[in-house]
Chains A and B, each alone.
Chain A
Amino acid sequence: MRKLTTLWRVYIRWMKIHWAILLEYRGDTFFYMLGGFISPIVTLAVWMTVSGGGSIGSYDQRDFILYFLSIMFVSRLTASWDAWEVEVHIREGTLSGYLLRPSSYLHYRIAENLVYKLFYGVVMVVAWIIAWPLTDVVRISLEPVHVLSILLAILLACATRYLLYYNLGLLGFWTTRTSAIVGFVEALSMFLSGRIAPYALLPDWVRESQSFTPFYWNLGFPVDIMTGKLTGAAVWQGLGVQAIWLVLFIAAYSVLWKQGLRKHSAVGG
């Protein structure tokens, strides 16, 4: 119980600090957010042109718009830049300051992530609410079970994607080439997450790979629930697959962290 109270206080403190830093760099934050929206908008524009006002497969105009709006929403909410942060902290020796204190470095990182997620989340939900009466494109089903499954899927996607990048950052214990590895993963994810096109429109072999990589589950899956393309049992099965990926990434985290600390050379000083 005391431990939980302490953890709560630590999170509140870190979040206040990260909020102060976010405000300090609000210009950067704004452009970063804006930048995140460009790729889905461009991709959407391409698809609108290609479909020429008609449909492709099961996607008509409204489907495409809703799909890429949801991609924007989910990808911003699940975004994580921890691979770079963690790698820099390891390489520059800043990690030492966190290792010396009796609170996991992970809490510090998660707290930062939460601040940005809350910030982006509020901004985007408000934007969505404003758009609601203006256009029927954004009017997704508000049935409680549907909303609940969206929330669950996004939550699981956040956690898994977060740990994926965090774990990539931990590779910094072994190599100084982390950013190349991250670049490769990003390129794969671009294609396999559903960011470029809905899964339903991708070639068969891509669709067949979906269970074997985490990428679809981190983005395409929550989006497919939001847009109503996935319903019934498929939703619950998908949530199960997400949970399995999450458990795998947690296990990978504990191995990497434990082994990494033995390798850690705490540079500097």
Chain B
Amino acid sequence: MPKSHNNGITVKELTKNFKVHEREAGLRGALHSLMKRSFRTVTAVDSISFGIEPGEIVGFLGPNGAGKTTTMKMLSGLLHPSGGTIDVGGYVPFQQKEAFKKRITLVMGQKSQLIWDIPAAETFLINQAIYEIPDAQYRETVGELTDLLDLEPLLKKPVRTLSLGERMKCELAASLLHRPEIIFLDEPTIGLDVNMQETVRRFIKAYNERFNATILLTSHYMADVTALCKRVIIINHGRILFDGDLNQLVSTHAPFKVAKLVFSKQVEEVDLDRYGTLLHYEYPQASIQIPREEVSQQASRMLADLPVQDFTIEDPPMEDVIGMAFAAKEGA
């Protein structure tokens, strides 16, 4: 397969079933399972199809247990699909060809390829050898990553002594040394503080622009998604609920914003109801849901009428938007 082959992804009717061994708790359960093992099939991914263009960043969203990680594991060749087909950059992932592995990476926020007892720099070196990265390119890439992610003080410390966020940065760097063209990021910002999340986001964006890499990203943080993804795919119970433009998703399913206020004086609840739907009020804080098209008008009214000490307008949390998209789908 020529290296110039496109970096797109095509998934057709992809399915993954897990067979789980069920055991009741307690002694009776243990005895019972000795005699007769009962299995249950869990369909983690249920016949999903989608395509991703080269160079696209797509957000892969859904509640816990939706099937995001399972899908990513199949896309990166770790899991054997129970059904359907996958084409990632011209390869069938599960065949685990070396040329395929050199072009992709999977970063899991909760799993590490770094070796625990020694400094991350050693993992970089082993990856240089494994991926056959020429010295000059290796030095250049490590230099860049070190600058972008501010790794300098971290690389010489044993990995086990790093903080969660520090480890994540090293993890990202180790996974990108070979300059993969197709990247699966499973919750890359999990457990990071706000600054660090921002750094990682900017870094992902820069990497995508520089190498025109195709990126599929999961996150439970709305900010990651809005900062990086034009397009999102929403999955729940292993099925795709929405695949399309993020703006369209938010405007159809969440046609409102949430105003958060902090008051300097007590206000009557009835006074707040006039500006929108009051979601929550407990002096001194209140949150009010306002239709998108009324936001600026209502905001200036509130600032004029009420003893406002602090004021912000936010998008509803991603979970809510997904929840509403889901509810709409169920209702339809």
Closest to A266 in B: B78
Closest to A9 in B: B129
Instruction: Please tell me which stretch of A34-42, A98-106, A190-198, A228-236 contacts chain B, meaning at least 4 of its Cβ atoms lie within 8 angstroms of it.
Output: A98-106
Instruction: Please tell me which stretch of B96-104, B205-213, B229-237 contacts chain A, meaning at least 4 of its Cβ atoms lie within 8 angstroms of it.
Output: B96-104
Q: Which residues in chain A, 186-223, are within 8 Å of chain B measured between CB atoms?
A: none
From residue B280, how far is it (CB to closest CB) to chain A in Å?
Answer: 34
In the complex, whether B117 has a CB less than 8 A from a CB of chain A is yes
B129:A102 contact, CB within 8 angstroms: no
Contacting residue for B126 out of A10, A94, A262, A269, CB 8 A:
A10
Contacting residue for A100 out of B80, B105, B118, CB 8 A:
B105
In the complex, whether A254 has a CB less than 8 A from a CB of chain B is no
In the complex, whether A21 has a CB less than 8 A from a CB of chain B is yes
**Given A99-B78, A265-B18, A269-B69, CB of A24 within 8 Å of CB of B131:** no
A17:B118 contact, CB within 8 angstroms: yes
In the complex, whether A261 has a CB less than 8 A from a CB of chain B is yes
A101:B108 contact, CB within 8 angstroms: no
- Residues in chain A near residue B104, CB distance under 8 A: 100
B130:A101 contact, CB within 8 angstroms: yes
- Residues in chain B near residue A269, CB distance under 8 A: 69, 73, 108-111, 186
Q: Which residues in chain B, 80-128, are within 8 Å of chain A measured between CB atoms?
A: 80, 96, 98-99, 101-102, 104-106, 108-113, 115, 117-118, 122, 125-127
A102:B131 contact, CB within 8 angstroms: yes
Closest to A269 in B: B108
- Residues in chain B near residue A100, CB distance under 8 A: 76-78, 101, 104-106, 113
**Given A13-B125, A100-B106, A101-B101, CB of A266 within 8 Å of CB of B73:** yes
A99–B112 Cα distance when bound, in Å, is: 13
Closest to B158 in A: A24
In the complex, whether A47 has a CB less than 8 A from a CB of chain B is no
Closest to A107 in B: B130
Closest to B98 in A: A102
B111:A97 contact, CB within 8 angstroms: yes
A149–B115 Cα distance when bound, in Å, is: 39
By a beta-carbon cutoff of 8 Å, the part of chain B in contact with chain A is: 18, 69, 73, 76-80, 96, 98-99, 101-102, 104-106, 108-113, 115, 117-118, 122, 125-127, 129-132, 186
A-B contact pairs, 27 of them (CB 8 A): A6-B129, A13-B125, A13-B126, A17-B115, A20-B122, A21-B118, A24-B118, A93-B111, A94-B111, A96-B106, A96-B111, A97-B111, A97-B112, A101-B130, A102-B99, A102-B102, A102-B130, A102-B131, A103-B130, A264-B78, A265-B18, A268-B110, A268-B111, A269-B69, A269-B73, A269-B109, A269-B111
A10–B102 Cα distance when bound, in Å, is: 15
Q: How many residues of A contact B (CB 8 A)?
A: 31
In the complex, whether A14 has a CB less than 8 A from a CB of chain B is yes
B79:A266 contact, CB within 8 angstroms: yes
Closest to A24 in B: B117
A225–B55 Cα distance when bound, in Å, is: 64
- Residues in chain A near residue B101, CB distance under 8 A: 100-102
- Residues in chain B near residue A17, CB distance under 8 A: 115, 118, 122, 126
A6–B98 Cα distance when bound, in Å, is: 13
Closest to B100 in A: A102
The 9 closest A-B pairs by CB, nearest first: A97-B113, A269-B108, A102-B98, A102-B101, A9-B129, A266-B78, A103-B130, A262-B80, A13-B129
Closest to B76 in A: A100
- Residues in chain A near residue B99, CB distance under 8 A: 102
A25–B108 Cα distance when bound, in Å, is: 28
A6:B79 contact, CB within 8 angstroms: no
From residue A93, how far is it (CB to closest CB) to chain B in Å?
Answer: 6
From residue A108, how far is it (CB to closest CB) to chain B in Å?
Answer: 9
